[in-house]
Amino acid sequence: MNQLTAQAPGGVPHLTHWQGVWRWLLLAFALVLSLGVAQVVHAQADPDREMSTGAPGIDADQWRQVRSGETGDNYRTSRYESDYNLINSSGETWRQWRNRWVSPFGLIVIGGMIVIITLFYLIVGRKELEGERTGRKLFRWPLFLRALHWSVASLFIVLALTGLNLLFGKFVFRGLFGDAFWGGMISASKFLHNYLGPIFGVLLIVLLVCLIKDNIPKKHDLEWFKKGGGMVGKKHVDAGFANGGEKAWYWILATVGVLVVASGFVLDFPNFGQGRDTMQWANIIHAVGALGLTAVSIGHIYIGTLGTEGSLEGMTTGYVDETWAKEHHNLWYEEVKDQSVSEQELVDRRASKGAGDSPATRSS
């Protein structure tokens, strides 16, 4: 190029001014002509030729890949710190699972439980003690376990209510109280749920560890279930420190409960790089497990309070009446009956050193 421009002054001089102009005109004419020809060719573009010469498009296999959510080696997305695929197709699956199955069936299970228990209470009624109270008490729950139980229990109730609000609240409270109230209510729900959840998880594990030795399944527990916990045949059934039903509740918490806690952690701390797919699964497990636990817990709450005379005092004062122990936990009673104390002794004991004394020995 440099050479050409350098030579030009030497080659051009003998051309006259007019010759130069003609040359330019000729060039322009040729250009216009060639454009016209090109236009004609373009108008006759033939699809087959275009197909064969054009860059190949995305084929069916690649669209299948996009739909399946896979991202190959040569997949790029321009968003900062993101590896999202083009189509998150499991999102719709998750939506259907959650909205079509988990929500309505959760409502049916919990509502059903409330109805069954109400009917049971109205028809069968409270299970009273059959014998007279002896007035002598057996120590059942030390202060530490009672404190732990009530902490876990209150956290459970808060988590259940806030969780239900996250799933169903929008159908009720938004219309009822308006946006301003609903906004505060739902953000409080999420806040409580996310911050109390981990505390519940840790305390639940501690409680499970403390109680495991009382909840090892035994042969008489099977018998307990066959007789419906004594409801069938009106005959007393054998039970140690924990009866078959209590053990079942323990093991539900030790399995489903732990699963709910674990999936809750996955959802609560999105800063460990877990993807949307993982969180979709965690959410389904969390919701199904938690709705199930809530339903069963209603049964536990009923039996522990309204449903059975003499049960609640064990968890509030730590002591139960001899008669209650004999009727509900006969095997345990046989072991510890010589450790009973009168109410007067109890009052004296409390006055002298508080209630944190050691419990009667137990066996499951």
d(CA 353, CA 152): 27
3-class state of residue 49 by DSSP? helix
Query: End-to-end distance of the chain based on CA atoms, in angstroms?
Result: 100
Of the listed pieces 95-103, 120-128, 241-249, 292-300, which binds other proteins according to CB under 8 A? 95-103
The answer to whether residue 82 forms part of the interface with other proteins (CB under 8 A) is: yes
Q: Smaller CB distance to other proteins: residue 174 or 227?
A: 174
CB of 189 to other proteins, least distance (A): 8
Rounded to an integer, what is the distance from CA 296 to the centroid of its chain?
17
Query: Nearest approach, Cβ of 90 to other proteins (angstroms)?
Result: 9
Work out the angle between the directed axes of helices 179-211 and 143-177 (0-180°, nearest 10). Answer: 160
Q: Of residues 3, 78, 352, 358, which one binds other proteins by CB under 8 A?
A: 78
Site string for other proteins, 215-254 (x = CB under 8 A): ----------------------------------------
19 binds other proteins (CB under 8 A): no
For 300-337, b/e burial (b = at least 16 CB within 10 A) is bebbbeebbbbbebbbebbbbbbbbbbbbbbebbebbe
Q: Find out whether 314 and 333 touch, Cβ atoms under 8 Å.
A: no
CB-wise, 261 or 325, nearer to other proteins? 261
For other proteins, the closer of residues 10 and 47 by Cβ is 47
Residues near 213 by beta carbon (within 8 Å), at least 6 away in sequence: 364
CB 120 within 8 A of CB 161: no
Site for other proteins (CB under 8 A): which residue of 34, 99, 316, 361? 99
User: Could you please report the per-residue DSSP string of 275-322?
Assistant: -HHHHHHHHHHHHHHHHHHHHHHHHHHHIIIIIBTTTHHHHHTSEEEH
Q: Least Å distance between CB 98 and other proteins?
A: 6
What minimum distance in Å lies between the beta carbon of 295 and other proteins? 20
Determine if 43 is a binding residue for other proteins (CB under 8 A).
no
Cα(129)–Cα(133) distance, rounded to whole angstroms?
8
Using CB under 8 A as the binding rule, whether residue 38 contacts other proteins is answered as: no
Residues in 270-289 that interact with other proteins by CB under 8 A: 270-272, 276, 279-280, 283
Q: Which residues bind other proteins (CB under 8 A)?
A: 45, 47-48, 50-51, 54-60, 62-63, 66, 72, 74-82, 84-89, 91-92, 94-95, 98-99, 166-167, 169-170, 174, 179, 182-183, 186-187, 189-190, 194, 268-272, 276, 279-280, 283
